Amino acid sequence: MAIDWQKEVDARKDDLLDDLKELLKVKSEREDDKITADAPFGPGPRDALKHMLSYGERDGFTVKNVDNYAGHIEFGQGDETLGIFGHMDVVPAGDDWETDPYEPVIKDGKLFARGSSDDKGPSLAAYYAMKIIKDLNLPLSKKVRFVVGSDEESGWGDMDHYFEKEKTPDFGFSPDAEFPIINGEKGNVSIRVHIGIGNEGSYTLEKFQGGLRDNMVPTSASAQVKTTTTEQAEAMEIAFNEYVGTTPISGTSIINGTTIIFQVGGKGSHGASPQFGHNAATWLAAFLDNYDFAGGAKNFLHVAAAYVHEDFYGEKLGAAFEDPKMGKLTMNAGIFDFDTDKEDALINLNFRYPQGTSSETLQASINDKIGQYGVTLTEGGHHMLPHYVPQEDPLVKTLLDVYEEHTGEKGEEQIIGGGTYGRLLERGVAFGAMFPGFVDTMHQPNEFIALDDLYKATVIYADAIYRLAK
C-alpha cells in the first residue's frame, strides 16, 4: 500500500502546531521544593505529562498515567511492542531570552519556546505520526506505545518508577536527538568535587555561585568578595573591567565599602558539548584565582581555574580518554557553589565517557591530580553506562532506509555524548528530530524548532513507525 505521508501530515499541520503551542506554555521545569506525592518532580512536569496524555485520550488511544511519574499512549495489537520515548520536562529557561520562553512565538518560520526542540516538539511530531497511522486504520502486527516521561533532564526517576509498574517494550527509538540516527551514546556520570570552606587570606570569598544543572554550561556566575580596604576593592574592580574586556564573557561589579560583588555572563551550551559554550563560572574563578585568598576559598578557586577552566576533555584532571568508535570523553563543569554558611563547597563535573573507562577510573585520576587540595569525591545523579546498537540491527537499518528515502541523503551511524531514553532498551536508539546542519539550541536561550523540520520529521516518523510495526 503506497501512502502519501506528506499529504497526511499537511492535512494536520494546523492541529499539530496548535497542540504544540499549548504544550509549550506549560512551564515544566523540575522544582524540588514543590515536590509532593501527587507531583513527584514538581507541578510543572506533572501538568505537562497530563496535558500530553490528554491528547491521547482525546484521539481515542489507550492511555495510562503511572502515578504522575510517566505514562503511555498505545494502540495496535501483537506480541511485540515498539516503544517510542519522549519527555515533557525541560531544563530551566535561564536568562537572555528575547521572548518569553513559555509564550511560544513564531519568527522567520521558527517556533521559539523552551522545549520546542527538546523535547516537546519532536514528541508531538512522533505522536502525530502515530495518530496518522491510527486515523488511516492501517494494519499492524505489533503494539505501538509512546512512553511519556517527566524527569529526563534530571535523574530519570520517572523511568525507574515506570518500569517498576510496566513491561519494557521490545525495541524502539526516542525522538530526542539527531537524524540520520544515534545508535550509540557515551556513558554519563556526574562526579562531585567537595572542598572544605575556609578563608585565611587578605581577601575573603563569601559566596560564589554558578550554573543551574549538570547538563548545562553555566551562562551566569556571581561572587561576593570582602577585601581589607576600599582601595583594594577599587583596584580589584579596575582589574576586573580590564579582564572582561579581553575575554569572551561580559561582567559587572558593585562596590559597597570593602565588599565587591561580581556578576559574569557567559554562553550556554548543552553539557554534552561544553566546547561550544563559555563557562561563566570558570572565567570568574580564573580572575579571582590571581588574588590572595587562602584555605578552602583558595582551593575552590584554584581547582576551578587551574584544572577545570577551558578544559572540555578532562585533560588537566588526568581523565582524558578516547575510544576509536565512540570518540573522546567530554567534561562539563555545570554547578559551582561556595557559601561560608555551608559545610563545604561544590564543583559538579559531568562526564560523557566512551566505552573503555569507568566512573571509578575517572575518580581515581581526578583524586591523583587534585587530592592535595583537600577534596573529596562522590558520584551524583543518574549514572548511565555506554550504549551501542550495531548498524546491522534491523531496527537501525530500517530507520536509516526511511531517512534516506525521504531526504535523499546517505544515512550513517552516529555516537553522541548526550543521553536519551533510547538507551533504556537493549535495542533502542535515538532518531531525530534535528536534521544535519541544524542550529542546535537545546538547553540554550532562544531555543527553537524550524516548522519545516517539525513537519518533515513527522513524515519520517510516520513512515518509520508503520514499517517497524506493520
Q: Is 89 a catalytic residue?
A: yes
Candidates 19, 152, 153, 178; catalytic one? 152
Contact in structure between 332 and 214 (CB atoms under 8 Å) = yes
Where would I find the H helices in 212-358? 230-245, 280-288, 295-302
The residue written with cell numbers 576509536 in the block is 324
C-alpha cell at 154: 534530571
Which one, of 335, 350, 349, lies nearest residue 417 by Cα?
350
The residue written with cell numbers 509532593 in the block is 36
Cα separation of 197 and 215, whole Å? Answer: 25
Q: Is 29 a catalytic residue?
A: no
Cα separation of 309 and 274, whole Å? Answer: 11
Cα separation of 281 and 193, whole Å? Answer: 15
Candidates 89, 158, 176, 447; catalytic one? 89
Cα separation of 205 and 224, whole Å? Answer: 6
SS3 86: strand
Beta partners for 380? 190
Cα separation of 229 and 239, whole Å? Answer: 16
Cα separation of 401 and 407, whole Å? Answer: 10
Residues tagged active-site: 89, 152
